[in-house]
Amino acid sequence: MITKISINNLAVFKEFDWDKEVVDALGHICTFKSINVIYGRNYSGKTSLSRILRAMETGELSDKYQNPSFLVKFADGSKSNHNSLISHGRKIRVFNEDFVRDNLRFITNPDDSIEPFAILGDDNNKIEKEIEALESELGSNEGGKETGLYAQQVAANTEFKNASHEYKKANDALEKQLGDKATDRSIGIKYKPERFGDQNYNIQKLRTDIEKVLNASYRPPNEMQLAQFEKLITEKTLLPIPPFRRPSLNIKSLADNTEALVTKKISESDKIEELIKDAVVNRWVNDGRAHHKGKRANCAFCGNPISEDRWAKLEKHFDEESEKLEKDICSLISKIDTEKNMVNSVLSINKALFYSNFHEKLDELTEQLKDTVKKYGEYLDMLNTQLRDRKDDILNQKKFRHPGDTSADLEAVWSSYEMLCGESDSFSNTLSSEQTKAKNALRLQEVSDFLITIRFQEQFSSIKILKNKWDDSEREKSCLDGDIRQKIESISSKKRELNDEEKGAKKVNEYLNNFFGHQFLSLEASKNEVAGEDPKRIRFEVIRDGKKAYHLSEGECSLLAFCYFLAKLSDIDTKDSKPIIWIDDPISSLDGNHIFFVFSLLNAEIVSNGRFEQLFVSTHNLDFLKYLKRLNGKFLDTDGKQKDYQKGYFVVVRQHNTSIIRVMPKYLKEYVTEFNYLFHEIHKCAAINSIDDTNYTTFYNFGNNARKFFEVYLYYKYPDQGMTEETLRHFFGEEKIPTVLTDRINNEYSHLCGVFERGATPVEVPEMQTAARQIIERLKEDKDQFSALLKSIGIAEEDKVEI
């Protein structure tokens, strides 16, 4: 049983998700039931829904849809979609316009006929004898007592199974040996990558190696070559050495800056002579200034007061120029220390990154590195010493002593290191290539020895013989299977010839006469007289007064098509089964009596007889909807008890250019007249606060809905006149504006009123809502009726629209 349908990009259905849209008032997801009633206005998408089931019946979906997709879910958890139309395995029968077009072609082409179908025919002695002969050739298919072709089939199956078993046994044994050699943890080549070079080795690669070994061009390595390979593969391939980033040496700029500071001259004006002559005392006095200025009036050393004059002389002595020189010296000392630390740490030689044949050179280079780093450090220390000397005697310029520059020696050591890195990396490339060749040679030698050990050639030849025997038995089995299948199909074909297509026509006539009393039309089966076609083929034709009928009315076509569909449920392909049945709007162009008869026929022939697994009926007609709510039937459950069919009610709603399925609202499910529905649409139009894509259709359809509402309402209020300008004025009283406005909307927006451009312009929503609210306001004057109308659409009195 179908539970849900989700649809995307199929006609008016765009991204319709069942679980999001088909929910009850509490938000619970609803599903299809055994009997499903679907209501929808014309062009809402009912026929598009039926075409999904039709495609699941015929296996074909219209190629006019662009990139359509749908997903149909069943109660047992299985699914069907646009890519697997008939894989569901269920019997489905759909009545819609496509069914009518495919089977009743005379409706569109009066000279064409109706597709015949067979129910049950009379015996034919000749055909029965042919069937008996075929069945005799087939023999008995009873288990253990087979005869004829079935006995031969049993023997062929036994031979096939034995040959298959022998072949698979021998082949599996060889496959097991090959698989173990390829991937077994103890003996497998895969788990010895250090020797054979492939840690992703598998049985497919082993087969490739076997082909190479068995090739006439293969030459195994000698003992000397094997020894060379063994030695070569022990060398481990190292990772590329991280690149050495050579820093920039700043020795020249540091020396030049040192020379400038050491030799810089300080102005001697306003200097204290005794402090200039004694650098130690000068430093002592300068340090004392920091401890006394602004803190003591007397000298902390001698206890004597420090005069303002003395302070002035000291300030002139220790001026801004000397303080700046001292700061520059300290800053340069810090830069020299940073340079020294950088040179000490920039390179640390790790022999583990190099192959052993480079280690001796690395030892020599390490010593050179230590020596040059030491000399470079000593050079920097000499610069620092001169700077500190000047700092201690800041007032007296010094003579700069230039040490020897060792930066070139350090650069040479770094260059040697970079050269060794390059040589080591190059050696890695060569080693990897040579090791790969050696490991390949060792692996092929291993495979060659393995083939000799398991006697591969002997096993392979034996398996080939068994395979040929298996193939022969399979061909024999297939030949017999095909012969039996052909004879079974021939028997089925001949049995179909026993079926009578004339009874299909009689069944249609039975429905036409018994349920509709339509004795003027009938269906007649006649042999084909069309040139070039099979003369034995039966044709169904519509007959009126003994002659082929032409120019059938739409109502007659609808009656005939529906009776044909119900009669076809008794054909040989459907009889005694319970299909999923989908009936799409079967009452087109029928009057009230015929609508009731269609319902009666549907109820008596399908529902009451339980001739379905699941039933779907869709309609746009509220009168037919009223009858469909009476569909009732019972079925026997697994315990043999009678139970009522569960029924589901749904609506197909079109919102502008998109349709969705929803649970049928309570007022439509419980109240059946269109009058209730039309009142509800007007009430919604009056109540909406803001217009968006979800409610725009209420305004779009307002003209039709209001016109039809007034046609019903005013007819019962003024049965002698119905809806006229006069009765509209009576309805609205003395107010002329709502009368004129409503009349304009009813005419212009429901009929376009002869103005083609009206259909191409947007709907004036304010006018719609104004008219809707005027109608509601006028209806309120009859309190009893207005309250009843509200209740009929499920709205409480306190929730009514306030104008």
Q: Which amino acid is at 442?
A: L
Residues 634 and 691 in one domain: no
In this structure, the answer to whether residues 794 and 678 fall within a common structural domain is yes
pLDDT of residue 125: 64
Average pLDDT for 155-160: 92
Last residue of a domain, one of 615, 644, 663: 663
Residues 6+ apart with CB under 8 A from 556: 518, 521
Higher pLDDT, 357 or 581: 581
What is the tens place of the pLDDT at every residue in 688-701? 877 776 677 777 78
Please determine, for residue 760, whether its predicted confidence score (pLDDT) is greater than 80.
no
Q: Which of 488, 529, 538 is nearest to 119 (CA)?
A: 538
Domain stop point among 663, 693, 716 = 663
Q: Based on the domain organization, do 657 and 740 belong to the same domain? A: no
553's torsion region: left (phi>0), alpha (psi -120 to 50) or beta? beta
- Domain identity same for 732 and 645: no
Q: pLDDT digit string (tens) for 580-616?
A: 999 998 887 676 667 888 888 899 889 988 889 999 9
Token pair belonging to 84: 């697997």
pLDDT class of 126 with cuts at 50, 70, 90: confident
Residue 803 has pLDDT above 70, yes or no: no
Rounded-to-integer distance, Cα 157 and Cα 357, Å: 71
Give every CB contact of residue 686 below 8 A, 6+ residues apart in sequence: 769, 772, 773, 775, 776, 801, 803
DSSP-derived 3-state class of residue 163: helix
Q: What is the pTM of this model?
A: 0.46
Query: Is 375 part of a structural domain of the chain?
Result: no
Contact predicate 42/618, CB 8 Å: no
Kindly give the residue spans of alpha helices, DSSP state H, lying in 688-756. 696-700, 702-717, 725-732, 736-751
Q: Nearest to residue 288, comparing CAs of 331, 320, 328, 317? A: 317
For residues 119 and 571, is the Cβ–Cβ distance under 8 A? yes
What is the pLDDT, as a whole number, of residue 759?
45
217 forms beta bridges with: none
pLDDT at residue number 270: 55
Per the rule left: phi > 0, alpha: psi between -120 and 50, beta: everything else, 380 is alpha
pLDDT tens for residues 366-393? 999 999 999 999 999 999 999 998 888 8
Specify the pLDDT at position 705: 84
Write down the pLDDT at residue 16: 94
Percent of the chain with pLDDT over 90: 36
Mean predicted lDDT score pLDDT of the chain: 83
Instruction: Give me 341's structure tokens.
Output: 């630390």
Do 680 and 653 lie in one domain? The reply is no
Which residue's entry shows tokens 């390059």?
Answer: 422
For residue 527, the SS3 value is: strand
CB 672 within 8 Å of CB 622: yes
Instruction: Spell out the residues 6+ positions from residue 777 whose beta carbon is closer than 8 angstroms to its own.
Output: 803
The 10 Å CB-count burial string (b at 16+, else e) for 186-197 is eebbbbbeebbb
Res. 28: pLDDT tops 70: yes
Q: How far apart are the first and last CA of the chain?
A: 48
- Tell me what pLDDT residue 124 has: 54
Q: How many CB atoms lie within 10 A of CB 262?
A: 20
Q: Which token pair is 506?
A: 């009689």
Residues facing residue 35 across a β-bridge: 615, 647
pLDDT at 402: 87
Read off the pLDDT band of 268 (50, 70, 90). Answer: low
Q: Is the pLDDT of residue 482 over 60?
A: yes
pLDDT in tens, 433-473: 878 888 999 999 999 999 999 999 999 999 999 999 999 99
Instruction: Categorize the per-residue pLDDT at 360 as very low, low, confident or very high, splitting at 50, 70 and 90.
Output: confident
Residue 756 lies in a domain: yes
Confirm whether 772 is domain-assigned: yes
Tell the burial category of 376 from Cβ atoms under 10 Å away from its Cβ (0-12, 13-18, 19+): buried
At 165, list the tokens: 């078993």
pLDDT over threshold 90, residue 479 = yes
Query: Sheet containing 521-527: which strands, arranged edge to edge?
Result: 521-527, 538-544, 547-548
pLDDT band at 754 (very low <50, low <70, confident <90, very high): very low
Q: Domain check: are 78 and 8 in the same one?
A: yes
Listed residues 283, 303, 318: the one ending a domain:
318
Higher confidence at residue 683 or residue 728? Answer: 683
Do 679 and 628 belong together in one domain?
no
The total number of residues shown for the chain amounts to: 803
* Alpha helices per DSSP H over 455-535: 456-497, 502-516
- Per-residue confidence band for 756, with pLDDT thresholds at 50, 70 and 90: very low
Q: Is residue 638 part of a domain?
A: yes
How far is C-alpha 745 from the chain's CA centre? Answer: 47
Give the three-state DSSP class for 639: coil
Cα separations (Å) of 501 from 504, 523, 572? Answer: 5, 12, 10
The verdict on 14 and 86 lying in the same domain is yes
Range of the domain at 300: 275-318
Check residues 591 and 712 and name the one with the higher pLDDT: 712
Domains: count for the chain: 3
Q: Using DSSP, how many helices (H) and how many strands (E) does the chain show?
A: 28, 14
- Which residues are paired to 38 by β-bridges? 618, 650
For residue 685, CA distances in Å to 39, 298, 690, 743 come to 21, 101, 10, 17
DSSP string, 168-184: HHHHHHHHHHHHHHHH-
The pLDDT tens digits of the residues spanning 319-330 come to: 566 778 888 889
Q: For residue 781, is it within any domain? A: yes
Higher-confidence residue: 706 or 60?
60
Amino acid at 759: G
Q: Is residue 215 part of a domain?
A: no
Neighbouring CB atoms inside 10 A of 223's CB total: 7
Residue 707: pLDDT band with limits 50, 70, 90: confident
Q: Compute the average pLDDT of residues 160-170.
A: 93
Tokens (6 digits) for 196: 């054979």
For residue 633, the one-letter residue type is G
Q: CA 629, CA 627: separation in Å to the nearest integer? A: 5
Q: For residues 770 and 699, what is the distance between their CA atoms, to the nearest angstrom? A: 11
Phi, psi angle pair for 294, to nearest 5°: 75, 0
Strand partners, 648: 36
- Residue-level pLDDT at 758: 45
- pLDDT (tens digit per residue) in 608-656: 888 899 999 999 888 888 889 888 888 877 777 888 899 999 999 988 8
pLDDT in tens, 530-574: 545 555 556 777 787 778 877 777 877 888 888 888 888 888 788
- Which residue in 784, 559, 790, 589 sits closest to 687, CA to CA? 790
* 678 and 638 both lie in a single domain: no
Residue whose structure tokens are 């069914």:
99
Q: Which residues pair with 542 in a beta bridge?
A: 523
Residue 193 forms part of a structural domain: no
Same domain, 687 and 791: yes
> Which element (helix H / strand E) includes 615?
strand 614-619
Region 84-90: mean pLDDT is 90
What CA–CA distance (Å, rounded) separates 789 from 61?
44
Shared domain for 609 and 637, answered yes or no, is yes
Q: What are the two backbone dihedrals, phi and then psi, of residue 603, each rounded to the nearest 5 degrees?
A: -70, -45
Note the Cα 430 to chain centre separation in Å: 49
Query: Span 383-406, mean pLDDT?
Result: 86
Question: In this structure, is residue 465 part of a structural domain?
Answer: no
pLDDT tens figures, 189-226:
999 988 898 889 999 999 999 999 999 999 999 988 88
Q: How confident is the model at residue 755 (pLDDT cuts 50, 70, 90)?
A: very low
Q: What is the CATH number of the domain that holds 8?
A: 3.40.50
Q: Are residues 613 and 635 in the same domain?
A: yes
User: Residue 785 pLDDT more than 60?
Assistant: yes
Which neighbouring-strand residues pair with 540?
114, 525
User: For 36-40, 415-419, 591-595, 751-755, which range has the lowest pLDDT when averaged over its residues?
Assistant: 751-755
